[in-house]
Amino acid sequence: QKEVEQNSGPLSVPEGAIASLNCTYSDRGSQSFFWYRQYSGKSPELIMFIYSNGDKEDGRFTAQLNKASQYVSLLIRDSQPSDSATYLCAVNGGGGSNYKLTFGKGTLLTVNP
Amino acid sequence: ETGVTQTPRHLVMGMTNKKSLKCEQHLGHNAMYWYKQSAKKPLELMFVYSLEERVENNSVPSRFSPECPNSSHLFLHLHTLQPEDSALYLCASSQVRTGIYEQYFGPGTRLTVT
């Protein structure tokens, strides 16, 4: 059973701080890793993806991947109240099912003004 | 229209009704997906169509019946549903041949079964 684990939170940070969201996965064959943001009552929106070990930066967002530790994280710098949402980690299946994503339950982030 | 669209956005149906959910993608992708999202549970993959062929069916009850007439359209036919089927139903699409596997979601259909 392929699993993706996230701390459900809620994670609460003050405005302007760095929010750190973490995710672990069980399938060592996974090759692609995704972060989605989901506002309450809305559908998931892709914000970052990463394929290689290390860091990938996009604006205020940085995704970090460590395949040896089966760990992926998302850092949000200068957090804004508009970043308050549930963040979903998703991992592809690897091998012949690499089109298939397994999602974690999500971490609820609250950014306090 | 851009991205992935879904209709209807909200649906209330009785347990004996038959209804269909529609999804259309305008991204030129070749794979489409149906997911179910219930409270406190991770997204559950229901069906996958790649190049209009069903390649995944995760033990979904037969009261859910998918249809993919072409690479841009996906339907989910519903009949004799149960109250526990009330959830947000999400359609997604991706391009699976070029090594880009990101999935893009539609806005979802909020289904309530009474």
Across the interface, whether the CB atoms of B48 and A100 are under 8 A apart is answered yes
> Which residues of chain B make contact with A49, given a CB cutoff of 8 A?
102
**Chain B 71-90, residues with CB within 8 Å of chain A CB atoms:** 88, 90
Beta strands in A3-106 (DSSP E): 4-6, 11-14, 19-25, 33-38, 45-50, 54-58, 61-66, 71-76, 85-92, 101-103
∠ CA(B58), CA(B88), CA(B50), 5° rounding? 40
> Which residues of chain A make contact with B40, given a CB cutoff of 8 A?
105
Query: In this structure, what DSSP letter does residue A68 have?
Result: T
- Provide the shortest C-alpha distance from residue B87 to chain A (in Å): 11
pLDDT in tens, B49-99: 987 777 777 789 999 999 999 999 999 999 999 999 999 999 999 987 666
* Percent of chain B's residues with pLDDT above 70: 96
> Which residues of chain B make contact with A90, given a CB cutoff of 8 A?
103
Q: How far apart are CA A65 and CA A74, in angstroms?
A: 9
Cα of first residue to Cα of last residue in chain A, in angstroms, is 40
Under the banding of pLDDT at 50, 70 and 90, the label for residue B2 is: confident
Q: Could you tell me whether strands B44-50 and B10-13 are parallel, antiparallel, or unpaired per DSSP bridges?
A: unpaired
Across the interface, whether the CB atoms of B105 and A45 are under 8 A apart is answered yes
For range A80-86, the mean pLDDT: 97
Of B56, B102, B104, the CB nearest to A100: B56
Under the banding of pLDDT at 50, 70 and 90, the label for residue A109 is: very high
Contacts 24+ apart (CB under 8 A), B17-20: B17/B78, B17/B79, B17/B81, B18/B77, B18/B78, B18/B79, B19/B77, B19/B78, B19/B79, B20/B75, B20/B76, B20/B77, B20/B78
Q: Which of B63, B55, B59 is nearest to B33 (CA)?
A: B55
> Which secondary-structure segment (H or E) carries B29?
none
For an interface test with B, give the residue of A24, A36, A40, A101 to mutate (most B CBs within 10 A): A101
Residue-level pLDDT at B18: 94
Kindly report the average pLDDT of chain A as a whole number. Answer: 93
- Provide the shortest C-alpha distance from residue B73 to chain A (in Å): 18
> Which residues of chain A make contact with B96, given a CB cutoff of 8 A?
98-99
CA distances from A103 to A42, A76, B44, B58, B73 (A): 16, 20, 8, 15, 24
